[in-house]
Structure 1
Amino acid sequence: MRTSYFYGVIAMATVVVASNILVQSLFGQWLTWGAFTYPIAFLVTDLMNRIYGARPARRVVFVGFVVGVICSLVGTQIMGEFGPWVTMRIAIGSGIAFLVAQLMDVAIFDRLRSGAWWRAPLASTLVGSTLDTALFFTIAFSGALTFIEPTNDVSWAGEVLPVLGMGPMAPLWVSLAVADWMVKLSLALIALIPFRIIVGRVLPQPA
């Protein structure tokens, strides 16, 4: 049991580190590669919740949060083409979004754990992912929150364009958020497959 719990901690830390690195690489016009690895954090949290319970799942979340903070601190010291890899707004947005969304995921999963096997992981991940996206992009890029880091020019994110190039007019950061949210929702459905397989192997009783 302790060994498996350790694997959960390592898995969460790996996802957070990988996502912090891959977020620096663009994927198309609206996404980064980190958008495809970060949602795995919800799978790790849900597996820990199903197998060990809500309290151990929260511990794994806090490990991920601490690792994320460390990555952000390191990122602020690495200079890229347009400035530091991680600005203060991005660091704050990332930390708050991760912690709030993951803890919400744990709470919802715990409330629904007695239902159909897919209900808890799907509902908790959908709500958590939505909350994560809304918090991060609003804190990191919304023009209304420039007071968080006045010296950080995010005016580029406020450029008004059609959402995803074809929807209603909105600031660019809204398109980035919508694209990120759509990836999270898609991966939430896909993640049900490994969730079912892993839980089925670890727990002999129906999940």
Structure 2
Amino acid sequence: MARPGVEMKRLWWPVAAMMTVVVVSNIAVQHPFTPWGLQDYLTWGAFTYPVAFLVTDLTNRRFGASAARRLVAVGFLLAVIASAIVSEPRIAAASGIAFLSGQLLDVSVFNRLRRLAWWRAPLASGLVGSAIDTALFFSLAFAGAVTEVAIYGIPGFSFAAPVWVAWAVSDFAVKVMMALLMLMPYGALLRIVLPVEQPRKA
């Protein structure tokens, strides 16, 4: 097992990638997705943030769960600091809490499933991590702050809900789609990103 100092030196590229993804997503989530009239349901952040799970899963595959957790911890600290500069404090705090919870859950699920078919670990961990991340981020970032109410339903049945709830549901739907799409780069990199040592139990 690599010493912490040595391990952090070899994690510079996933840390840089993770910080970039989170900062870009924190900015993107503040901008509604306007094509096709979806501005009340979706933000651009839904399309950028799932890349964070790809970075975590590739790190987990290459260096193991311990290194992936170090990546999450360092990425969390750097991303929160950077996000506090480029976005509102509430957005930065919500992003940090959701990031830490979702990514650590992703690491655990991936590590438990890594010996199964190649696609199961990244898909399952990405979906579970995204669900927790979405629920925490939108409830902490927008509950009470975004007061607009939208009407949803079909003829004869309708209900009102805060716009941020619609954003969260739509955001997760896109993340499910992105989790499936992220299997392509993950699968393409399987022969390049090889484990450096036998994975140990979390």
Q: TM-score range by the shorter chain?
A: 0.7 to 0.9
Q: 1:9 to 1:167 in 2, by over 3 A?
A: farther
Deviations 1:137-170 (A, max 9, x none): 1122224xxxxxxxxx4323xx24217xx97532
Q: 1:49 aligns with which of 41, 60, 83?
A: 60
Instruction: List runs of 5+ in structure 2 lacking aligned partners.
Output: 1-5, 196-202
Task: Provide closer, same or farther for how the CA distance between residues 141 and 58 of structure 1 changes in structure 2, counting only shifts above 3 A.
Answer: same
Q: Secondary structure at the match of 1:115?
A: coil
**Count of aligned pairs between the two proteins:** 182
Three-state SS of the structure 2 residue aligned to 1:154 is coil
Q: Matched residue of 1:194: which SS?
A: helix
For the pair 1:60 / 2:71, whether they are aligned, the reply is: yes
Unaligned stretches of 5+ residues in structure 1: 76-84, 144-152
CA distance in 2, matches of 1:195, 1:20: 24
Higher helix content, 1 or 2: 1
**Superposition misfits of 4+ residues, deviation over 4 angstroms:** 1-4
Larger deviation: 36-45 or 65-74? 65-74
The DSSP-based 3-state class of the residue aligned with 2:116 is coil
Is 1:155 the counterpart of 2:147? The answer is yes
TM-score (structure 1 length as normaliser): 0.79
Say whether residues 1:9 and 2:15 are aligned partners. Answer: yes
Identity %: 55
RMSD: 2.4
Q: Could you tell me whether the CA contact under 8 Å between 1:17 and 1:67 is conserved in 2?
A: no
Partners of 1:110 and 1:167 lie apart in 2 by 43
| Equivalent residue number for residue 134 of structure 2 | 133
Alignment of 1:1-207 (within 5 A): 5-28=11-34, 29=39, 30-75=41-86, 85-88=87-90, 90-143=91-144, 153-156=145-148, 159-162=149-152, 168-203=159-194
State the Cα distance separating 1:56 from its structure 2 match: 0.7
Q: Is the 8 A contact 1:42 1:102 kept in 2?
A: yes
- Structure 2 length as normaliser, TM-score? 0.80
Alignment CA distance shift 1:167-1:183 (3 Å): farther
Letter in 2 for 1:33: W
Task: State the Cα distance separating 1:92 from its structure 2 match.
Answer: 2.4
Structure with higher RCO (Cα < 8 A, 6+ apart): 2
**Helix, strand or coil for the counterpart of 2:189?**
helix
